[in-house]
Amino acid sequence: TRSTRHQGSGCQRRAEEADVGFSASCLTTAELQQHWRAVKQEFRSVKLLFDIPTARIIDQQITKYVVYQIVVIRSGSYDCERVAIERRYSDFLHLHQELLLDFSEEMEDIVMPRKKMREFDRELVRALLT
């Protein structure tokens, strides 16, 4: 049986206690947060991974904007179907906000990059993809 001692607390806990009879009274806030992140991670067997392979500039008479293609991949399994979505940044931002409301735990590690205004230079768009 493996046990760890926390300095200064005189408190011992066994690795098995994380599953049954876990006592958080001897842990610091940071240790407790780390423990619960690890517990939540165990229950998330499938993660969604995102890749942004392309972006292109749409130049219409009235408006000009960048469209990004995002490919969604499921980790933990061979995903034979490639799912690609092509939208403007504002559309992805709106989707991200809605998903945060409905799936906050699943989305907590997914951060939207900041929007850079007037990204119409082709070299800048290419640089954003790397």
Which pLDDT tens digits describe the chain residue by residue (130 residues)? 444 444 444 444 444 444 445 666 787 888 888 887 777 766 656 667 778 888 888 888 888 888 989 888 777 666 567 788 899 988 988 988 998 898 887 777 778 777 766 655 666 666 655 5
Q: How many domains does the chain have?
A: 2
What does residue 112 show for φ and ψ, rounded to 5 degrees? -80, 135
Residues 15 and 76 in one domain: no
pTM as predicted? 0.51
3-state SS, residue 88: strand
The domain that holds 115 is classified in CATH as 3.30.1520.10
Residues 87 and 124 in one domain: yes
Residues 81 and 124 in one domain: yes
Domain that holds residue 15: 3-43
CB atoms near residue 68 (< 10 Å): 19
Residues 14 and 67 in one domain: no
Residues 72 and 16 in one domain: no
Please tell me the distance from the alpha carbon of residue 70 to that of residue 92, in angstroms, as a whole number.
9
pLDDT at residue 45, as a whole number: 60
Residues 30 and 59 in one domain: no
